[in-house]
Amino acid sequence: MKKLVLLLFLCMFALGCGTAAKQSELWEHSTMYKNWDHLGFSWCGYKKPTLETGKKSHEQGWWGIPVELKEGK
């Protein structure tokens, strides 16, 4: 019984990782980040996106899960 539960857990974990990778477009590029600006935003800046980072994202062609800019902050 323990082996069955462990096997089910591992299958669900693998499916979850595959779904996250597909949504982030990770497999469509040769690198995880486009450049150093993209890396910095992905690690720290995504919590407080600005118009400047949105402009950089568009100009430099960043990929990944979109982050919405919250008005008034």
Indicate whether 68 and 40 sit together in one domain: yes
Number of domains comprising the chain:
2
Q: Which residue range forms the structural domain that includes residue 51? A: 32-73
Those residues with Cβ within 8 angstroms of residue 19's Cβ, 6 or more apart along the chain or in another chain: none
Asked if 52 and 62 sit in the same domain, the reply is: yes
Co-location of 20 and 46 in the same domain: no
Distance (Å, whole) CA 3 – CA 29: 37
Residue of 22 and 46 predicted with greater confidence: 46
Residue matched to tokens 């082996």: 3
Q: Is pLDDT of 7 > 80?
A: yes
Q: Are residues 4 and 23 in the same domain?
A: yes
Residues 26 and 4 in one domain: yes
User: Average pLDDT of 26-38?
Assistant: 78
pTM of the model: 0.53
